[in-house]
Amino acid sequence: MERFSWLPTEASGGLADGNIYVGDVNLRPETAWIAEAGIDWQGERAYARPVVYYRRIDDFIQGVPFDSTPGVINSPVEMVSAGSGDPTPLRFANTDAEIWGADVAFGARLAGPLRVDGVASWVQGKRRDLADNLYRMAPANGRIALTWEASRWSVSAEAQGTAAQNRVSASNGEVRSPGYVLASLYGHWIVREGLRVDAGVENLFDKLYVEHLAGYNRITGSDVAVGARLPGAGRSAFVRLRWAFN
């Protein structure tokens, strides 16, 4: 895809970001230096698994403006792309980049059958060939769940938080995104050996939100404006029956 995307195909390069991408048969493969360190700690009533990492990538492949005059339609590619609804197409190109971040999983047993578990992630990326942030980097995010766990059933209340993403790519015209917090409830009941019922309600308060890496709407006549990020899933509920037998 990155080498052979061509127009007039409306190829998004798998990113669904509203841009049309053009390939380059002369792309070089990426090479990277990676450093990573982590700890896996397990106590009697708690655990933590933090990891930090750094990646220096040569010939990092990402979409860049098709030419030095984005928005000015002065080439056949831009003419065809504009006719398909995108006057600022991107082309896959080799750049130089660095990415660094941290992940952590943690948990602890509290009083009685109560426990807390969580995960958190943070990552940043920069281009080394020019002063800009990497395109489409996930914002800091995390989940934390409080669970009451009995011998045959459990109930969990979970909060999922995502920070605003303000470190966006200026050269690609990337749009910032706001942060949000979602609440969900989950539970399970072991009816008998081999028979289990799981249930849950996600996005409990039906909050309207958009993920930073969500796709962009390209369809007219929709409740979502053309060129706007697609909203995340609203409130949903599920019940799942698991039956294991020999």
Cis peptide before 8 (omega within 30 of 0): yes
Quickly count: other Cβ atoms within 10 Å of residue 8's Cβ: 11
CA-to-CA distance for 128 and 60, rounded, in angstroms?
Answer: 10
Q: Is the pLDDT of residue 240 over 80?
A: yes
> How is the chain split into domains, by residue range?
21-243
Contact 24, 13 (CB under 8 A): no
Residue-averaged pLDDT of the chain = 90
Nearest Cα to Cα of residue 104 among 152, 54, 48, 158: 48
Give the pair of three-digit tokens for residue 193: 């050996």
What sections of the chain are H helices per DSSP?
76-83
Q: Using the structure block, give the residue that is written with the tokens 């700690």.
A: 41
Give the pair of three-digit tokens for residue 231: 């909203």
pTM score, whole prediction? 0.86
Q: Is the pLDDT of residue 71 over 70?
A: no
Q: Which fold has domain 21-243?
A: Maltoporin; Chain A (2.40.170)
- Within 8 A by CB and 6+ apart from 188, the residues are 153, 154, 196, 197, 198, 199
Give the pair of three-digit tokens for residue 119: 């995960």
Q: What is the pLDDT of residues 28-63, one digit of tens each?
A: 999 999 999 999 999 999 999 999 999 999 999 998
Contact 49, 40 (CB under 8 A): yes
The per-residue pLDDT for 19 is 82
Q: What is the pLDDT of residues 174-231, one digit of tens each?
A: 999 999 999 999 999 999 988 999 999 999 999 999 999 999 888 888 899 888 999 9
